[in-house]
């Protein structure tokens, strides 16, 4: 079953953003090699609560949980992960795709053009 890998990123004050920018360039081909597809990567965030204030939000679709595990445990990824760990604070969750609602469900069931 497909999964979404969702990451919130807060840039660490005083850290060199160049390493994180380098990480962003290097990680995309690794993610794509393992079947991942970027759905959202944005700094355009409107805060709804007072305690959670990430600088960037990323959502990546994977065909299954095993693809996520292979991606982020790969030797290629392990070589670059320090560029992220040393420059940002990030939190991640994995969400297993569930029932579809609204327009997506209607399209799947052939109810919309």
Can you tell me whether residue 36 is helix, strand or coil?
A: coil
pLDDT over 50 at 35, yes or no: yes
pLDDT over 50 at 1, yes or no: yes
pLDDT over 70 at 102, yes or no: no
Q: At what angle do helices 17-33 and 75-85 cross, to 10 degrees?
A: 150
Mean pLDDT calculated for residue range 14-21: 84
The token pair at 64 is 């299954």
Alpha-carbon distance of 2 to 62, in angstroms, equals 6
pLDDT over 80 at 101, yes or no: no
Q: pLDDT class for 112, splitting at 50, 70, 90?
A: very low
Phi, psi (deg, nearest 5) at residue 42: -145, 150
Topology (CATH) of 3-108 = Alpha-Beta Plaits (3.30.70)
pLDDT over 50 at 44, yes or no: yes
- The sign of the dihedral angle between the CA atoms of 66, 71, 72, 75 is positive
Mean pLDDT calculated for residue range 74-98: 92
Q: Report the alpha-carbon angle 79-80-82, nearest 5.
A: 100
């Amino acid at each position: 079953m497909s999964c979404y890998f969702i990451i919130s990123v807060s840039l660490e004050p005083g850290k060199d953003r160049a390493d994180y920018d380098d990480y962003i360039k290097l990680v995309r081909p690794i993610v794509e090699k393992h079947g991942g597809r970027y759905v959202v990567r944005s700094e355009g965030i409107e805060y709804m609560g007072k305690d959670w204030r990430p600088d960037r939000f990323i959502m990546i679709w994977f065909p299954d949980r095993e693809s996520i595990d292979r991606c982020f445990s790969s030797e290629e990824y392990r070589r670059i992960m320090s560029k992220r760990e040393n420059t940002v604070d990030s939190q991640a969750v994995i969400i297993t795709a569930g029932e579809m609602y609204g327009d997506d469900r209607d399209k799947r069931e052939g109810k919309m053009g």
